[in-house]
Amino acid sequence: MAEPHKINPQSLSDYLDVMSKTTFQSGISWKVVDAKWPSTQEAFHGFDPEIVAGFAESELDQLTNDTRVIRNRRKLEAVVANARRMLELEREHGSFRNYLRSHGGFDQTAADLKKQFKFMGEHGTYYFMYVVGEEVPEYEEWSAARRLTPQVPKS
């Protein structure tokens, strides 16, 4: 597996973009998600959390019929719910980065991410934290400690 590209998040949109990609990658070929990502970003208005959090049922209905995106209704709803929760946590902590760093370590942060956000499992949480530049253990050590099968993108 190629190592994912780390980013230095400049806004809440950057965090929502990475988290949403994690949501869509759950159980789907990474190549499919990557191929649709530019049009998914467009459909979600660059993952501006204020806009996404305000999506109405009618907008979700439109997205479930939009071939530019992965049309899984539960995942589309999760992106909206995650945007809303991300905005709440940013208000509570002053910034989303402050929220991520308020837990005292990787395991505590990962556990809270899985609790606070939809479609954030073991691998997705690790991937999210890695890509947004938070401290994570070495992947091989982390997956071995959890007896997880390393995730390799599906061709």
4 domain residue, yes or no = no
5 domain residue, yes or no = no
**Residues with pLDDT less than 70, the chain:** 1-3, 148-155
Supply the pLDDT for residue 3: 67
Cβ(33)–Cβ(61) below 8 Å: no
153 domain residue, yes or no = no
The CATH number of residue 130's host domain is 1.10.340.30
Residue 146 class from Cβ within 10 Å (0-12 exposed, 13-18 middle, 19+ buried)? exposed
- CB count, 10 Å around CB of 28? 15
For residues 118 and 80, what is the distance between their CA atoms, to the nearest angstrom? Answer: 10
For residues 32 and 91, what is the distance between their CA atoms, to the nearest angstrom? Answer: 34
Which residue segment(s) compose the domain that 89 sits in? 12-145
Supply the pLDDT for residue 99: 98
Domain count, the chain: 1
7 domain residue, yes or no = no
111 domain residue, yes or no = yes
Supply the pLDDT for residue 116: 97
134 domain residue, yes or no = yes
Closest CA to 20 of 90, 77, 65: 77
155 domain residue, yes or no = no
38 domain residue, yes or no = yes
